[in-house]
Amino acid sequence: MSLGACYAQIGGDLEGVRSRLMTDERIEKFIGIFAEDPSFGNLRTALDEGDLKEAFRAAHTMKGISRDMGFTSLSDIAAELADVLRPDEEGVPAGPLERVPSLFEQLEEAYTRTVDAFSMI
């Protein structure tokens, strides 16, 4: 499957990525690195263990790297989750924490869809 088809399948922003990362070669290289990135796993573990500070950091990283790669929907969900988990000066998350399970579910769905789509390349 071509890069264009993959991005189309997940509703990603290929044009934006091309203008920022300059070459398709570099885009493909970093899609590979993205698939190996431990942030998603870290996020899951942190949520399982109730470590909200670490969960925020992982969500925040997810948001950043998926945005870099033009994975718009994934990045948007990660951003929403990061905002809910974002600690204030006392380290208390912004909340509401009731939203975390459903946001994580959406994130997992988008993440899996993204990684699956690109595993074809």
Partner 1 sequence: MKLETKEQGIQPLIKAPEKKDQIILIVDDSAMNRALLADMIGPGYKVVEAENGLEGIAAMQKLGSNISVVLLDINMPEMDGFDVLAVMNSKNWINDIPVIMVTAETSPSYIERAYDLGVVDFINRPFDAKVVQRRVNNTIMLFAKQKALVGLVADQVYEREKANSLMISILSHIVEFRNGESGLHVLHVSTMTEILLNQVAKKTDRYKLTTSDISRIAMASSLHDIGKISIPDAVLNKPGRLTEDEFELMKTHTSVGAAMLADVPVKQDDPLVRTAYEICRWHHERYDGGGYPDGLKGDDIPISAQAVSLADVYDALTSKRVYKDAYTHEQAMEMILNGECGTFNPFLLECFVEIADDIHEQLTLNSLGAEADMEIAHMVDEAMTPGEAEASSRTLELLDYERMKYQFFASMSNELQYEYTEDPPMVVLSDWAEKKLGVPEVIKDPFEDRTLAELFGEDNIQRLRAALHDTTPEEPVVQLEFEATIDDEPRWLQVTAHANWSSDEVPRYLGSIGKMVDIHEHHEKMADLQRRATHDSLTGLLNHAYARKLVQERMKLNPEKSFVFIVVDMDKFKDVNDTYGHLFGDRVLFHMAQRLEGSVRGNDIVARVGGDEFFICMECSVDPDPLIVRVYETVIGEYDGIDVSVSMGVATAHGDECAYDDLFRSADHALYEVKNADRGGFKFADKILSEDEALSALSQIDGEKEEDIAAAHASRS
| Residues near partner 1 (CB under 8 A) | 16, 19-22, 26, 29-30, 33-34, 37-39, 54, 56-57, 60-61, 63-65, 67-68, 70
Other CB atoms within 10 Å distance of the CB of residue 17: 22
Minimum distance, C-beta of residue 36 to partner 1, in the bound complex (Å): 8
Report the C-alpha gap between 108 and 12 in whole angstroms.
16
Q: Which CB sits closer to partner 1, 61 or 100?
A: 61
Q: Which CB sits closer to partner 1, 37 or 102?
A: 37
List the one residue out of 40, 19, 22, 25 whose CA is nearest residue 114: 40
Backbone angles phi, psi at 87, to 5 degrees: -75, 145
Minimum distance, C-beta of residue 22 to partner 1, in the bound complex (Å): 5
Q: Which CB sits closer to partner 1, 49 or 105?
A: 49
Minimum distance, C-beta of residue 120 to partner 1, in the bound complex (Å): 21
Secondary structure element (H or E) that encloses residue 19, with its range: helix 14-21
Minimum distance, C-beta of residue 29 to partner 1, in the bound complex (Å): 8
Residue 19 CB-density burial (10 A; 0-12 exposed, 13-18 middle, 19+ buried): exposed
Q: Which CB sits closer to partner 1, 54 or 80?
A: 54
